[in-house]
Amino acid sequence: MAEIRDMDIDVVVFDVLGTLVDEPGGLRTAIRDAVSAPDDASGGAAETSVDELLLLWQRHIEDEQRRIAHGQRPYAGSEVLDREAAQRVADQAGIGDPAAVARLAAAGSRLPPWGDSVAGLERMARLRPVIGLSNAGRTALLRLSAYAGLRWHQALSGEAVRAYKPAPEVYRLAADTAGCPPERVLMVAAHAWDLRAAQAVGMRTAYVRRPVGDPPADSDSFDGSFDGLDDLAAALTAR
């Protein structure tokens, strides 16, 4: 399905990590660079694959965000969680160079955009006001936007409400910033869990297929499903 059903959209909100940038791919590259750095003589990486280290990073972030959501840990921004994840990877891989660990911890600011993200977002920004909505902290989101060449009219971080998606207050932040009823705000993401949470606060939803996304289940009913941003822009233009 590539359509938008019965919608008048005033503002388009984009998820960032995974939807507009290849988060796993960028982290994998950063980890590979760290474990193969010529000035790190530990050799520990030979025993631990890059994919295993990536999984260690991802699990730490997911676990800590879940603990924060359940009140088991005070809110900590993405830069804090990334530093923790980078240290866990470094410990596992035997990376002893502090500079290499620090560079790895900032990997979230150096994620590559998908092939259609820059041009597609530029096209979308000529059609509607565009907001980025991310779990990345404000500073990381600023640097990532510059690195990947992403154009926003405004970029919002869950840090502003001290929460991580899929907490409802993050989506309400976007709707409040949009300044219109949530049913006139379109949330675009490659993650079905993200869209379900946006639906729960009344936002409209569009799924964009990405290699690393969370595809919809049979029970999901989003307002549109698209192979890429060009298809989404065409659908919005046709309204």
The closest of 111, 163, 183, 98 to 141, measured between CA atoms, is: 111
pLDDT tens digits for range 195-213: 999 999 999 999 999 999 8
| 173's tokens | 């932040």
Rounded mean pLDDT, 66-73: 97
Provide the residue range defining the domain that includes 76.
23-108
Give percent above pLDDT 70 in the chain.
Answer: 92
pLDDT tens digits for range 20-59: 999 999 999 999 999 986 654 444 444 469 999 999 999 9
> Considering the domain boundaries, does residue 3 fall inside one?
no
CATH of the domain at 50: 1.10.150
Mean pLDDT of the chain: 92
Could you tell me how far CA 37 lies from the centroid of its own chain?
A: 27
- Residues 80 and 174 grouped into a single domain: no
What is the C-alpha separation between 181 and 111, in angstroms, rounded?
32
- Supply the pTM of this predicted model: 0.92
- Residues 146 and 67 grouped into a single domain: no
The pLDDT, as a whole number, for residue 238 is 72
> Considering the domain boundaries, does residue 82 fall inside one?
yes
> Considering the domain boundaries, does residue 1 fall inside one?
no
The pLDDT, as a whole number, for residue 180 is 94
The closest of 232, 214, 234 to 224, measured between CA atoms, is: 232
Element (H, E) at 225: strand 224-226
pLDDT top residue among 239 and 220 = 220
* pLDDT band per the 50, 70, 90 thresholds, residue 120: very high
> Considering the domain boundaries, does residue 2 fall inside one?
no
The pLDDT, as a whole number, for residue 223 is 94
